[in-house]
Structure 1
Amino acid sequence: MTKTLITLLLGVIYSWPAISMAQEVDNLKIEVTGSVIDSLNNEPIPYASVSALLMPNQTCIARTVPHRNGTFLLELNKDSQYAIIISCIGMKTVTKNIKTGTSPINLHHIMLEEDSQQLGEVEVIAKKQRISLTDNGFSYSFKNDKTLLAENLLYAMKKVPLVSVSGDGTLSVKGGSNYVIYLNGKPYTLANSNPKEVLQSIPASSIEKVEVITNPDLRYGMSEGGSILNIITLKNQPNNYRIILNAGGNTHPAENAGVNILFTKDKLSASFGYSFNNTQLDHVPSSSYTETFLNETDKTVTTQEWETDGNITNHLIKGLLEYNIDTLNSVYADANFMLQRINMNTIYNNNYQTPSNPYYHSNVFDKINQHDGAREINLSYRNLYPHKKRERLLLTYRYAFNPDNKKNNVTERSFTDSENKDCYNEYIHKANTKGGLTEHTVQADYTIPLNKHTLSIGAKDIYRRSTSSPLYYEWNPETGTWIEGNKYAQNEIDKFKQKQNIWAAYLSYQLRLNQFSFSAGARIENTYNKIEYSNEKENEYSYHTFDWIPRLFLSYTLSQYSSLSLSYSSLIKRASIWQMNPYQQQVDEFSVEYGNPDIRSEKINQMNLSYYYFSNSVTFATWLDYSNTDNAIVKYPSQQNEKTIAYTYDNLGSYNKITGFIYISYSPTEALSFNINGRVGKTYMKSTRLDFKQHATHYSLNLSGDWNLKHDWTIGAQWGIFQQEPEMQIAYNKFQKYSCYVQKRMLDNKLNIRLNINSPFRNEKYREAVQHVQNSNFSRQTRFGIVARSVMIDLSYSFGSGKTSAKRKVIINNDDLLQNTGVR
């Protein structure tokens, strides 16, 4: 201990001259601070340009970009005269003349006004800035894009950089489906499970902006290679309201309708909404062809064809309340409820051939009834610092429940005589499952700003409880009653329970120095898992795991229009209840699926290099992602017997993925825009246990164009080609999509009518999505029917009083689980 103290003392003594010299240099400079504010709405303007010109020769000696809260800092020489120039696209440039002395100078709020020029009787107004860079991504301002006022949020999202929306309403980010949707800073689980239906029910006129968070910090949590779409809603000025109605339908067939009400009374802001969506399944065709290799020369062949009818109905109810206690304290609450009803009827025609028995035919009639209700509640308290109104403390609580209740009734008829179709064996059985996932989360976040430095600390506790109670019955034709049992070999488990408790804490540090921004942090997690069986106590077990999750991020702001960033992070992904539940779900003799309670969580390491450039006419972004995991949770097929293929989950091997992306948007005029969104990647998979190696290329390319015509008409078209990323022993075919639309805005943008046609030149109603499964024992090719040609119409109408503004709320995200929790 003494030796260590002596070493430290000597280090201080020898470094003192260098420290003294640095202090002397610092003593020759003073700090000039201020904040850049929009004069119309008193909101900060992040990433404007702030320059210091040494007078009188006007030499630029310092330049910086404000933080996203609008504040900036310049270090200038003492006893000198400067002109401080503040500029931003679409705003009038402001000049502040100062003379430095020995004390710091605070320019306080610098108000920028919109730039307009009078040319005779024609007023030319500069286009408002819509895209702004942030510390961990960028944002797109809906309120500055008047063409979106009458759109629904789903189709308005296509204006957001890196986001694509196909003609059938499929949303993708960075060319894929790996993204998480937030609403006012909290995970929007309702939209994550049903993005098309939920976003379609929200009018774009109720949205202030959408933030694309490409480098989530430790508070948000992280998803592999993914991004966060944070939707920031508007709230009315005091004592005003807005009502928004929407309805739509298509030839799929499907129909939807909804109403949203937003109002503010003094310090209280609220919104309530209800939406209805019904999707019908109309003779959806599918088929499969399976070969099982018995030896080098013999094999069995199974062919299956099936059609599905039915409907899926969703009723969504959501509410949001925010109360501003004073200028520094506020409370927030939201609640989301979903009632879902699924009715599906599927008829299978199966043929099975072996070397010894060339004919075996069966018909299966499968009826599924599912009545679910999910709920989610979020509560939070926020406290701000008096100076600059930055967040200091955030306390949050989240409750979510996702049920798993199904009824499956099956009638099987097997034929062994090809000559006599009236002679068959009939077997009737059913399976009922009852259970679900309950989740409670509490989180505390505290931020300490220290001039150029920011320190963030936080803690979180997640408690989860999963249950599943399967019941099996078969029909006794002699007594005409249901009796317990099933002819298939089911696991003898009466009730499965999983308890999980996660304690986590994080520490994050950020330094912003002129154009440079650096952050580093780590989160530690202690996880307790317990598996219980009501009738197999000897198989119960529990275990603890401890994980350390680092994050590093470095960015350089080249200008107010562009930035370059590099990041590294790791994350934990835990198995869902459905992946762990050993209950076997088997409809017929040819396939079975069950979970694996012995799955462990997977840890993923990922790196990202990205470059962004934004202006009002051109947007360009490119980035490179790499990720690796050595204990990936994989759904894989295996041969259970000559007839049956089994699907289950396990930690099977390693995944290495490298993916490149590019996004280009060009608007030569305010009325015309073109977009290119592309992705190409390579995935390497390896499993020692399965003695398996696989690598494959996956890609996507999406091209779109929009033209705003006179009299509030808009037309557009889109084309895309996609090759889905492979899985272990599973590959997919590529496919193309194309669509066109026409839109009309009326009644001062209050009413919007949109007609969209998907695949107008296809003759068939359904296209095929093909899945290929291949290993050393068998091969299977499955063709799924997906709607191809369809015509859709959407209408929205809004009315009310007052203008709008917005405020962001940040709640809780749990994205470690391989399933969404909350309202589904």
Structure 2
Amino acid sequence: MKTNIYIIAILFLIASWQMPAQAQFPSMGGSTQPKALPGTAGDQSPKGNAKITGSIVDSTQAKPIEFASIALYNKATGKAIDGTVADDKGKFTLSKLVAGNYEVLISFVGFRNKTIGNLTLTNGQSLDLGTVKLSANTKTLDEVTVVGQAALIEEKVDRMVYNAEKDITAKGGDATDILRKVPMLTVDLDGNVSLRGSQNIRVLINNKPSTIVASSVADALKQIPADQIKTVEVITSPSAKYDAEGSGGIINIITKKNSLQGLNLNIDSGVGNRGSTLSLNGNYRKGKTGFTLGGFGRGMYNTITKTNLDQTSRVGDVTTLTRQAGDGHMTGLFGQYNLGFDYDIAKNQSITAGVRYGVRNMNNQQDLITQLFTNGTLGSTSSRNVDSKNLSGTLDANVDYLHTFKPQQEWSMSTLYSRTDLTNNFDADLLNGTGELTGRQRNLNSNLNQEFTFQTDYQTPIKKNQLLEFGGKAIFREVNSDYKYLFAGPSGQFTTEVNNTLGELTYHQNIAAAYSSYTYTTKSRYTFKGGLRYEHTFIDASTREGGNLGVGDYGVLVPSINASKTIKGTTLKLGFNRRIQRPGLQQLNPNFNAANPQNITIGNPSLRPELTNNFELGVSKTIGKTFINATFFGRITNNAITQVSQPSDTIAGAIVSMYQNIGRQHAYGTNLFTNVAVTSKINVGVFLNAFYSSLTGQAMGLDKTSITMTNSGMNIGGGSFVNATFKNGWGAQAFGFMQGTQVQLQGRQGGFGFYTVGVKKEFNNKKASLGLAAENFLNNRFNIHTVLNSPLFSQVNDVYLYNRGVRLTFTLKIGKMTMDAPRKKAKSVNNDDVKSDGQQQSGGTPGGGQPR
């Protein structure tokens, strides 16, 4: 314990060392940074104590122009003697200038150059040029348009940014509809998200975590309206500043923010044959104070499912064949409501606070008919009518403070309290072969997940080309799960089943972390970003029946290295990082879900974290009107968490799946993406995800002893999209995606497809719009065909999803707003440290469940 404390102390001491901060720090990341300016390389000119400051904005939109070039010329000689680039807020500083007469030349691609002459500096003077407006260069307008289309995908040193603002078909949808179109991501028909084939990811919303995401990513995405999403950041190589959690990477969803003065209200609604939405979002800002109030609701209906399950299990000399057919449907209500407040305490200080409440109410009804054959002879036929309920309420409350000392030098404190109450129950009526009610079964499972987080971060520039970041974080987490199985006859009261007594899990997980990160940009525009992060996890886990589970504390040192270089328009990126993946609530919950008693799932509170080493090499280039990105990656995971299935010893023909640390998992592959701006109004994109995976783990053999199993193979998926805008406010979009089968330890999970087309018409100067979208309109259903095998069982599971749909959307903007200068807001807490099961907590359909 003392050793771990010493390590944290050493990290803080190393991080607290600083070289004198001098000038502002240019951006460390993207491929859009300009070349070095004349006069900056030699540092041979005399140094004084005067300086020139200012900010650069677009004259038409009043938005800051980041990375604009500023050159300082001696008026007498006409020679450039100094220069710099604007930061991401358009601000710049030329410091240590001697007295004299100067001219300043400001330039940026797509804008007319602007010269400010007759500038006379005296010793010690600080000259503020104020806001400098650049106007668009009409002669290069076509070129700028092409670049803008290519910027649908932005490459930065540690992430890829997808611009989602122009999505037409997503109107009336949710975040799932957006993420399906992001390169490197795969979203199945249930909303489960994978990054390069791994569901071990963290999803953040505006850099904030939420306990509902920790419980189920798929359910959380359904509560985020698609038309409120601005960008999606795919962070494949997270720096030390991020939590070490998320072996596959981090997805950060950035929603639209309003920096306008005044009052406005946006109304978004949609109605379709399978779902309807209504969203109201209001903003009010006056002076230093701003308020936001919003609500989003979505209803799901007419969601029909059919399942077929054939599985064979072998226990001793008895072979049992299970044949099962199921018919069902799902309904759901999702809502999210938020209240936000921000206040500028001073010019360089701000405070932000917010409360967000999310609600989920999902109901799944299914009728199952099951036949059991023992050694080839039909033994029994039974029916089971199941009603499952998946209910939750999530509360997030945050208070954040930011103090900016000068450009790129800032200190922040962030706090977050998050709570999720989750209910996951089912009731089942048991019928014999003639349809007579013989008994009733009930599973009650309530969960509570609470977190409190405190985080502090500091960053400061060192000279003109270096940035130092360091900070610390503490997370206090408590998970509780109460579960019981009750049984009753055809009538009468429920009583506790003999073989399943009351159960309870109490799981405390506290995390202390410290990090230090350093970024360096050379004069030839190489960018290097490296860091170290140490996290120590303290665990106290116990169950009512078994007492303390003996899950020990553990610490991990996490290095990260990222590098990028742009050579003649080609950007190269190289990255390495180590990640840790802690088990999430659904992996830990020991309640076994027997809504379908032939296909049972159960959590494992004794799970250990998995550790992953990630390597990646990325190349991107714009050739004329075409943007190309290719990433090659490798992922090596130890103690990989996955489901392992085996026959039940007590229920004839049943297969029990439990989360286990299986051992080793390797993945090597590539992500390819190309975007073509066919014209200034038509954009076409194609993407491909392909990787080879190999899994090695332990399973039960014929003699009931553990055996080593391996499985490997290719995993391939891809798709394409087309965006088009026309005159008079018309626009259209089409998108299609196909995912092949996925390798599992004990078999392969079935593939699926998805496609959608839509049109939109804008009215009244874009203050209103009407849209129509259709999805999967040529297919009545999709079949997800999953095959699992081991020495003791075989399983073939077909899940048929009927998701042909059409929806009509309407948007209205009310209110008059005026532009306000953008302000830097207080940063928020990032909890990237809990593994999600990636599945809806309804546990899938009882007639075979969701594919694993």
With the length of structure 2 as denominator, give the TM-score of the two structures. Answer: 0.80
Q: Name the structure 2 match of 1:12.
A: none
Q: Which runs of 5+ in 1 are unaligned?
A: 1-24, 416-420
Q: Name the structure 1 match of 2:621.
A: 613
Q: Name the structure 2 match of 1:241.
A: 263
Counterparts in 2 of 1:141 and 1:780: CA distance versus 1, 3 Å: closer
State how 1:662-673 maps to structure 2 within 5 Å.
Answer: 662-673=672-683
Which amino acid in structure 1 is aligned with residue 675 of structure 2? S
Supply the distance in 2 between the matched residues of 1:47 and 1:563 (Cα, whole angstroms): 17
1:310 CA drift (Å):
3.9
Counterparts in 2 of 1:675 and 1:613: CA distance versus 1, 3 Å: same
Counterparts in 2 of 1:155 and 1:545: CA distance versus 1, 3 Å: closer
State how 1:726-765 maps to structure 2 within 5 Å.
Answer: 726-762=743-779, 764=780
Identity %: 17
Counterparts in 2 of 1:42 and 1:800: CA distance versus 1, 3 Å: closer
Q: Name the structure 2 match of 1:462.
A: 475
1:442 aligns to 2:454 (yes or no): yes
Aligned residue among 229, 236, 253 for 2:252: 229
1:46 aligns to 2:66 (yes or no): yes
Provide the secondary structure at the position in 2 that maps to 1:380.
Answer: strand
**Paired residues of 2:444 and 2:485 also in contact (CA < 8 A):** yes
Aligned residue among 725, 728, 740 for 2:742: 725
Q: Name the structure 1 match of 2:291.
A: 270
1:611 CA drift (Å):
2.3
Supply the distance in 1 between the matched residues of 2:633 and 2:126 (Cα, whole angstroms): 42
Which amino acid in structure 2 is aligned with residue 375 of structure 1? L
Supply the distance in 2 between the matched residues of 1:582 and 1:511 (Cα, whole angstroms): 48
Supply the distance in 2 between the matched residues of 1:284 and 1:596 (Cα, whole angstroms): 29
**Paired residues of 2:168 and 2:733 also in contact (CA < 8 A):** no
State how 1:402-801 maps to structure 2 within 5 Å.
Answer: 402-415=420-433, 421=434, 426-451=438-463, 452-476=465-489, 480-486=492-498, 489-490=499-500, 492=501, 494-514=503-523, 515-537=525-547, 539-558=548-567, 562-613=570-621, 617-641=625-649, 642-687=652-697, 690-762=707-779, 764=780, 766-801=781-816
1:264 CA drift (Å):
0.5
1:47 CA drift (Å):
4.2
1:717 CA drift (Å):
2.2
**Paired residues of 2:211 and 2:418 also in contact (CA < 8 A):** no
Superposition RMSD in Å: 4.3
Supply the distance in 2 between the matched residues of 1:220 and 1:461 (Cα, whole angstroms): 13
Supply the distance in 1 between the matched residues of 2:493 and 2:180 (Cα, whole angstroms): 59
1:400 CA drift (Å):
1.1
Provide the secondary structure at the position in 1 that maps to 2:744.
Answer: coil
Counterparts in 2 of 1:710 and 1:727: CA distance versus 1, 3 Å: same
1:503 CA drift (Å):
0.8
Provide the secondary structure at the position in 2 that maps to 1:495.
Answer: strand
Q: Name the structure 1 match of 2:336.
A: 316
Q: How many residues align?
A: 773
1:631 CA drift (Å):
1.0
Counterparts in 2 of 1:62 and 1:633: CA distance versus 1, 3 Å: farther
1:674 CA drift (Å):
0.7
Which amino acid in structure 2 is aligned with residue 475 of structure 1? A
Higher RCO, 1 vs 2 (CA within 8 Å, ≥6 residues apart): 2
Supply the distance in 1 between the matched residues of 2:170 and 2:623 (Cα, whole angstroms): 21
Supply the distance in 1 between the matched residues of 2:590 and 2:179 (Cα, whole angstroms): 41
Which amino acid in structure 2 is aligned with residue 220 of structure 1? Y
1:691 CA drift (Å):
1.3
Higher mean Cα deviation, 405-414 or 315-324?
405-414
Provide the secondary structure at the position in 1 that maps to 2:592.
Answer: coil
1:430 CA drift (Å):
1.1
Supply the distance in 1 between the matched residues of 2:95 and 2:42 (Cα, whole angstroms): 9
Which amino acid in structure 1 is aligned with residue 506 of structure 2? K
Supply the distance in 2 between the matched residues of 1:115 and 1:780 (Cα, whole angstroms): 63
1:578 CA drift (Å):
2.3
Which amino acid in structure 1 is aligned with residue 385 of structure 2? F
Q: Name the structure 1 match of 2:346.
A: 326
* Deviation readout 1:795-824 (Å, 9 max, x if unpaired): 211121113455454211222211399x99
Supply the distance in 1 between the matched residues of 2:560 and 2:207 (Cα, whole angstroms): 20
Counterparts in 2 of 1:730 and 1:738: CA distance versus 1, 3 Å: same
**Paired residues of 2:210 and 2:418 also in contact (CA < 8 A):** no
1:613 CA drift (Å):
3.4
**Paired residues of 2:583 and 2:608 also in contact (CA < 8 A):** yes
1:258 CA drift (Å):
1.6
Supply the distance in 2 between the matched residues of 1:356 and 1:146 (Cα, whole angstroms): 55
1:345 CA drift (Å):
1.7
Q: Which runs of 5+ in 2 are unaligned?
A: 1-40, 699-705, 842-852
Which amino acid in structure 1 is aligned with residue 225 of structure 2? Q
1:500 CA drift (Å):
1.0
Counterparts in 2 of 1:414 and 1:113: CA distance versus 1, 3 Å: same
Aligned residue among 824, 829, 837 for 1:812: 829
State how 1:248-327 maps to structure 2 within 5 Å.
Answer: 248-251=270-273, 253-293=274-314, 299-327=319-347
Provide the secondary structure at the position in 2 that maps to 1:235.
Answer: coil
Counterparts in 2 of 1:161 and 1:193: CA distance versus 1, 3 Å: closer
Provide the secondary structure at the position in 1 that maps to 2:830.
Answer: coil
1:668 CA drift (Å):
2.8
1:379 aligns to 2:379 (yes or no): no
* Deviation readout 1:458-501 (Å, 9 max, x if unpaired): 111111111111122211458x2222225xx43x4532111111
1:567 CA drift (Å):
1.1
Q: Name the structure 2 match of 1:399.
A: 417
